[in-house]
Homo-oligomer: A and B are copies of this chain.
Amino acid sequence: MAPKYVYSFGSTGTDGDASQRNLLGGKGANLAEMCNLGLPVPAGFTITTECCTAYFAEGKKFPAGLKEEVQAALKKTEQAMGMKYGDPENPLLVSSRSGARSSMPGMMETVLNVGLCSKTIPGLIKKSGSERFVYDAYRRLITMYSDVVMEKAEGIEPAEGKGVRVQLEHLMDAMKHAKGITEDTDLTADDLKKLCDQYKAKVKEVLGREFPDDAMEQLWGGIGAVFKSWNGKRAVSYRRIEGIPDEWGTAVNVQSMVFGNMGNTSATGVAFSRNPATGDNKFYGEWLINAQGEDVVAGIRTPSPLNEETKNDQNRHLASLETEWPESYKELHDIRDKLESHYKDMQDIEFTIQEGRLYMLQCRNGKRTGTAALNMAMDMLAEKLIDEKIAVTRVAPAQLDELLHPIINPESEKKAKPFLKGLPAGPGGACGVIVFTSDAAVASAKAGKKCILVREETNPEDVEGMRAAEGILTARGGMTSHAALVARGWGKCCIVGAGELKIKISAGTMTAGGKTLKAGDVITLNGTRGLAYEGALEMMDASENPRFKGFMEMVDKFRTMGVRTNADTPDDAKIARSFGADGIGLFRTEHMFYGAGSEEALFILRKMIHAGNDEERNAAIDELAPFVKRDIKATLEAMDGLPVTVRLLDPPLHEFVPQEEGALAKLAKALNCSVDEVKKRGADLHEVNPMMGHRGVRLGITYAHLTEMQIRAILEAAAELKKAGKNPKPEIMVPVTCTVKELDFVKPIFDKIQAEIGIDCLYGTMIEIPRAALLADKMAVTAQFFSFGTNDLTQMGFGFSRDDIGGFLSDYLDKKILEADPFQTIDQEGIGQLITMSVERGRKTRPDLKIGICGEQGGDPASVDFCFKSGLNYVSCSPYRVPIARLAAAQAAIKAKK
């Protein structure tokens, strides 16, 4: 016996349900589910994926029995809708749509308005009262049908510009041109009628066949075309990429068309079961009488509010559905309640009222802001609609960002037009006067005037100004440039790589988007979107939500992976701790040489760098020890009881070479040599590719005394705290290693000092060089922990200098060569291999190896999920991303348990 190929849905009976996704496709299963809930869905039927397979198996022939089943289902559909397909008086129109098991957006075909022909047109004109409406629908049917059914499905591959669709569009353009109009909507009913005749003639001319004027022929043409589109070029190559098997096939959904624009008893609207911007538990939406779905969103007519309580200043004067058509409103409100109790989440609803009758076109989980997501999760939990586990999954980690930074008021931003676009490097919004130098930023902040620091790109000398500014805007640099890293570390609004921006510091002006602004002019930045606006936009602080804390406590009930922070100062450490960090995953010793208060330590470091011989160098190193100890001690104290991973000095020394004459002279005096000699010694350190130069452990090996000094300072700091009754937990991490022999070189120095001072301390390494990942089994012989430096691992793995990708990254993203910036989210396909390989090999040598990640991606939710799956013990990220990482880690754990 042949299997059942056709499943009806609608008020007269529904055969399928949501569980039959494989058989009915995603769309078919959802339509069935809505019908089962008793919702007024336009009736129709689904032809199964099995039928598609049979269709191809029989050489593109409909299998036996299908015709009868379709006829029976069509009859049920007609009954449900009270209309008749192909009927001259009361004609039913249908759509024919694809629906695969998993969504293949835009890859397959759709035909709308099927059933419109010379026999049915007059009846529809009579019913709708609009000749224009009917001929417009007819024109669309001819276009879609000739293109999809008569050309593509027949395997015709016309030369570029010779396809039937393009040629029909030319006819329309010619008519508009002849009439001197530009908009389709300016065409009259007569125009459209004439156009339909031209269309049909052109179809005949191009394809050698008449456009079918029989409703049943149209129906079967539409069904066959959807099946055939499963093996269309686009769909096949999409399946190759996504790994979808060819044998799955697609279902076909034949569904009654309903029209909200069929006169003044018709309407259309969209609604949310709760407010998607605030989360308020109030039914919220908009509707328009005698309109189609696209009219609501197009913005030409102002939509009316759904009900009285959600009216606002823009639409207060308009009649709500609640007062206008109270019955429809009540029906819709009941549906809203039904949907929420069924789906247990906020629903985004599309509805149409055709001649007073309400139809549900779609319902799905609604998009929402972070604030709304948090409020809804907590409300639904209180309502006992959902449990804690589900509540935790209801807020996307990235949405938390919004709750942690001031933002531009979205309403205010909607009305403004940005003059410049760049990369969104630091989240939130900022507003202030333009300053072009770090000094000006500091002065402005001192004077109580908020400012935006605008630079070509920033360097360590700008750090004070960056701290003082509300926001930062640079013309160059990528998402992990200096400016971006520093800004994110501080949770500061920042836009980088705004390539169009031209700065003339001498003139005190900047130019972009045809505007020239000068120092002192006010601008506003949206660092979340990378947009800059002229003037002051209204700001708002979204972090006031009292439920944030409760939510995060709940999150930690499910989290199993640690979340640490990258922090170099007691202040950062305290912020991170307040955000729930489990420790510090990366403390950069070099931080003490940047920014305010660093002058003395920096000067000694420079003496070390420019030393003329080992004796001078070692003396400078010894002089540096108290500073190192002081800074580490302060942070260890702030993190008392929690682990603090201290990375030994990492950057190439040339970064610290002074350029300014005064500094050079001071240095020359201290070193008792000429300024020229100081310059020369500095210049000798210049490197062609400093990222792959003399840095990290390579410095620690060349200057073993430097290594010794640092280790001693760290352990002495811990010892002093311990003596004072504290519980310091330092871990020492060696950077830039590529062979275990580097670790083995430093280890005896570590062992000796540790034995001397007697402080417990783990000894580990960054895994940031590809070779170290490949040889992780050997690295783990000496290393007690690994920490993935995914910034460098990505740089070396891709051969992408993060300072220089500005030159081609946007091309790569635009041309889809890369799916995402790999410095923002771990490239799981490539760099991910190095990570999983390291974890596996490292733990093979040392089963209890502690493994974390301290690259920028440690705060990216997708990367946190990947780290969890890879078996890492913790991620580490900038303080402001700690809550995001905590949530992502909890969600990963929940997902894994499923």
Tell me the A residues contacting B by CB distance below 8 Å.
685, 687-694, 698, 701-702, 736, 738-739, 741-742, 745, 768-771, 774-775, 792, 795-801, 803-805, 807-808, 811-812, 815-818, 827, 829-831, 833-834
Q: Given contacts A694-B808, A815-B701, A818-B739, is CB(A803)–CB(B687) below 8 Å? A: yes
CA distance A742 to B812 in the complex (A): 9
- Structural contact, A830 and B691, CB atoms closer than 8 A: no
Q: Given contacts A770-B796, A803-B688, A804-B687, is CB(A702)–CB(B811) below 8 Å? A: yes
**Chain B residues within 8 Å of A800, by CB:** 692, 738
- Structural contact, B799 and A692, CB atoms closer than 8 A: yes
Identify A736's interface contact among B687, B799, B811, B834, CB under 8 A: B799
Identify A830's interface contact among B685, B771, B803, CB under 8 A: B771
CA distance A739 to B812 in the complex (A): 11
Identify A808's interface contact among B688, B701, B771, B795, CB under 8 A: B701
**Chain B residues within 8 Å of A692, by CB:** 689, 691-692, 795-796, 798-801, 804
Q: Given contacts A701-B812, A774-B833, is CB(A690)–CB(B804) below 8 Å? A: yes
Interface pairs (16), CB distance under 8 Å: A685-B807, A687-B804, A688-B801, A689-B689, A689-B795, A692-B799, A693-B805, A694-B808, A701-B817, A738-B799, A741-B817, A769-B799, A770-B834, A774-B797, A792-B799, A796-B796
Identify A693's interface contact among B807, B829, B833, CB under 8 A: B807
**Chain B residues within 8 Å of A690, by CB:** 688-689, 801, 804
Q: How near does chain B come to A621, taking the closest CB pair, in angstroms?
A: 17
CA distance A808 to B771 in the complex (A): 18
Interface centre among A688, A808, A829, A834 (most CB of B within 10 A): A688
CA distance A520 to B796 in the complex (A): 45
**Chain B residues within 8 Å of A811, by CB:** 698, 701-702
7 more contacts with CB within 8 A, not counting A692-B801, A698-B807, A742-B817, are A685-B807, A687-B803, A688-B691, A688-B804, A692-B799, A738-B797, A774-B797
- Structural contact, A808 and B698, CB atoms closer than 8 A: yes
**Chain B residues within 8 Å of A742, by CB:** 817
Closest B residue, CB atoms, query A833: B774
Q: How near does chain B come to A682, taking the closest CB pair, in angstroms?
A: 14
CA distance A797 to B688 in the complex (A): 17
Closest B residue, CB atoms, query A693: B804
Identify A775's interface contact among B685, B694, B830, CB under 8 A: B830
- Structural contact, A689 and B817, CB atoms closer than 8 A: no
**Chain B residues within 8 Å of A799, by CB:** 691-692, 736, 738, 768-771, 792, 796
CA distance A745 to B811 in the complex (A): 12
**Chain B residues within 8 Å of A831, by CB:** 771
**Chain B residues within 8 Å of A694, by CB:** 804, 807-808
- Structural contact, B796 and A829, CB atoms closer than 8 A: no
**Chain B residues within 8 Å of A745, by CB:** 815, 817
- Structural contact, B741 and A807, CB atoms closer than 8 A: no
Q: How near does chain B come to A623, taking the closest CB pair, in angstroms?
A: 23
Closest B residue, CB atoms, query A743: B817
Interface centre among A692, A693, A769, A815 (most CB of B within 10 A): A692
- The complex is assembled from copies of this chain, and their number is 2
**Chain B residues within 8 Å of A827, by CB:** 771
CA distance A692 to B806 in the complex (A): 12
**Chain B residues within 8 Å of A796, by CB:** 692, 770, 796-797, 799
Interface centre among A694, A771, A803 (most CB of B within 10 A): A771
6 tightest Cβ-Cβ pairs between the two chains A and B: A689-B801, A692-B801, A694-B807, A693-B804, A688-B803, A771-B830
**Chain B residues within 8 Å of A833, by CB:** 774
Interface centre among A690, A698, A799 (most CB of B within 10 A): A799
Q: How near does chain B come to A687, taking the closest CB pair, in angstroms?
A: 4
Q: Given contacts A769-B799, A797-B771, is CB(A689)–CB(B804) below 8 Å? A: yes
**Chain B residues within 8 Å of A792, by CB:** 799
**Chain B residues within 8 Å of A804, by CB:** 687-690, 692-694
Closest B residue, CB atoms, query A827: B771
Closest B residue, CB atoms, query A680: B502
**Chain B residues within 8 Å of A698, by CB:** 807-808, 811-812
Q: How near does chain B come to A855, taking the closest CB pair, in angstroms?
A: 14
CA distance A265 to B295 in the complex (A): 119
**Chain B residues within 8 Å of A685, by CB:** 807
CA distance A796 to B799 in the complex (A): 6
Q: How near does chain B come to A115, taking the closest CB pair, in angstroms?
A: 41
Closest B residue, CB atoms, query A792: B799
**Chain B residues within 8 Å of A816, by CB:** 741
CA distance A687 to B478 in the complex (A): 12
- Structural contact, B687 and A738, CB atoms closer than 8 A: no
Closest B residue, CB atoms, query A803: B688
Identify A687's interface contact among B702, B768, B797, B807, CB under 8 A: B807
Q: Given contacts A689-B692, A771-B830, is CB(A739)–CB(B817) below 8 Å? A: yes
Q: How near does chain B come to A416, taking the closest CB pair, in angstroms?
A: 30
- Structural contact, A801 and B770, CB atoms closer than 8 A: no
- Structural contact, B702 and A808, CB atoms closer than 8 A: yes
**Chain B residues within 8 Å of A803, by CB:** 687-689
Identify A798's interface contact among B702, B738, B741, B817, CB under 8 A: B738
CA distance A831 to B774 in the complex (A): 9
Closest B residue, CB atoms, query A831: B771
CA distance A797 to B775 in the complex (A): 11
CA distance A495 to B211 in the complex (A): 80
Closest B residue, CB atoms, query A653: B807
CA distance A815 to B704 in the complex (A): 12
**Chain B residues within 8 Å of A830, by CB:** 738-739, 771, 774-775
Q: How near does chain B come to A18, taking the closest CB pair, in angstroms?
A: 36
CA distance A833 to B772 in the complex (A): 12
CA distance A811 to B700 in the complex (A): 11
CA distance A816 to B811 in the complex (A): 44
Q: How near does chain B come to A141, taking the closest CB pair, in angstroms?
A: 34
- Structural contact, A797 and B770, CB atoms closer than 8 A: yes
**Chain B residues within 8 Å of A797, by CB:** 738, 769-771, 774, 796
- Structural contact, A774 and B834, CB atoms closer than 8 A: yes
Q: How near does chain B come to A533, taking the closest CB pair, in angstroms?
A: 26
**Chain B residues within 8 Å of A689, by CB:** 689-692, 795, 801, 803-804
CA distance A805 to B702 in the complex (A): 12
